[in-house]
Structure 1
Amino acid sequence: MEQKTTVRNEQNLLDIALQESGSILSVFELAIQNNISITATVTPGISLLCNNLSGAKEILRYYKENNLFPATGNAVDLPVDLRPLEGIDYWAVEVDFKVQ
């Protein structure tokens, strides 16, 4: 019988791998089983196959016993400040800082 899990709000593929195997290393198996990229955005409510994922049994048991569902969100959506760092701590002599 196929094992499936339903994606919850703010979960990504790494969260699902951890939830279903106890290890993020199984993200590759999860991606192959579902024919998606490991960086794919997964939509809440969809079902993903998670058959025979290798992982850490003790961590998996802890997650199951405590009804834990990791949801770290989608890092792609996080705002990133790409301005260069400034100030004397970041200056380089003869590049940003002129010696006179």
Structure 2
Amino acid sequence: MAQLLMLAIRLYWVLVPASKRGHCLFKVTCSQNVFQVTKKKEFSKGISALLERYHSPRSGYHLFQDGTDERKKMMLANGGIIEADLIADRLLKHLNHTK
């Protein structure tokens, strides 16, 4: 089953042009993350990673700089907070230009 999931992701990478894919909020894209987790761990962990990323809201996020330590962070619409090392570079660049 893991091989089937990874094959589906590879087909997605080949058949769907990058310009037509969604713009992921994360540095490691959703499909890359699911592929890596499936390859390193197992099918069930890959499915869990897929569901986690799928349910991470794509809109309603808020980029901010933490007042206590000045680190850049993102608050997702569901209230989850992720650190800068997980945030897509294109979004961090936007934060730098809005200061």
With normalisation by structure 2, the TM-score equals: 0.26
Q: Tell which has more relative contact order, 1 or 2 (C-alpha 8 A, sep 6+).
A: 1
Give the structure with higher Rg (CA): 1
Whichever structure has more helix as a proportion of its residues is 2
Whichever structure has more strand as a proportion of its residues is 2
